[in-house]
């Protein structure tokens, strides 16, 4: 298989000859082998694993994103990705960096929604006066 991992403004990695891929979704982990049917999956922050004959098993920490398999091509589009050799350090990176940022983003979105709601209420009250 051909694996391409895309970031918002860059290509993180491109690999050919990938024999298997394991990714994490909200429903658990799933694997992709070369003859698997085409599919699309929403990824959650976690560890993506792929294997090639030359590199062996490779682990990447990835943020939320989308995986698309079409024929021999597998495209993974995520907001952030980190490579490394120590699986424990990658898992910590996912928990500390990706999930913490997600909580901060949710908090920011909540604050913005409250500000928008307040603005709409004020505009409605001015219009009614």
User: Residue 43, Cα to own-chain centre: how many angstroms?
Assistant: 5
Q: What is the pLDDT of residues 1-57, one digit of tens each?
A: 999 999 999 999 999 999 999 999 989 999 999 989 999 999 988 889 999 999 989
Predicted TM-score (pTM) of this structure: 0.71
CA distance 74 to 67: 7
CA distance 129 to 127: 6
Share of the chain above pLDDT 90, in %: 48
Task: Calculate mean pLDDT across residues 87-97.
Answer: 74
Position 90 scores a pLDDT of: 78
CA distance 46 to 42: 12
CA distance 88 to 106: 26
Domains parsed from the chain with CATH numbers: 2-128 (2.60.15.10)
Is residue 14 within 8 A of residue 3, CB to CB? The reply is yes
Position 103 scores a pLDDT of: 67
- Decide which of 90 and 53 is more confident: 53
Position 120 scores a pLDDT of: 82
CA distance 75 to 48: 12
């Amino acid at each position: 298989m051909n694996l391409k991992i895309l970031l918002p403004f860059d290509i993180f990695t491109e690999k050919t000859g990938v024999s298997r891929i394991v990714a994490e979704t909200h429903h658990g982990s799933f694997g992709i082998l070369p003859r698997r049917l085409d599919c699309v999956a929403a990824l959650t922050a976690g560890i993506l694993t792929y294997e090639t004959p030359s590199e062996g098993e490779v682990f990447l920490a990835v943020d939320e994103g989308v995986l698309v398999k079409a024929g021999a091509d597998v495209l993974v589009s995520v907001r952030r990705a980190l490579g490394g050799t120590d699986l424990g350090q990658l898992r910590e990176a996912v928990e500390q960096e990706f999930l913490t940022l997600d909580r901060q983003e949710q908090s920011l979105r909540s604050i913005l929604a409250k500000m928008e709601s307040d603005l709409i209420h004020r505009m409605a009250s001015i219009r009614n006066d």
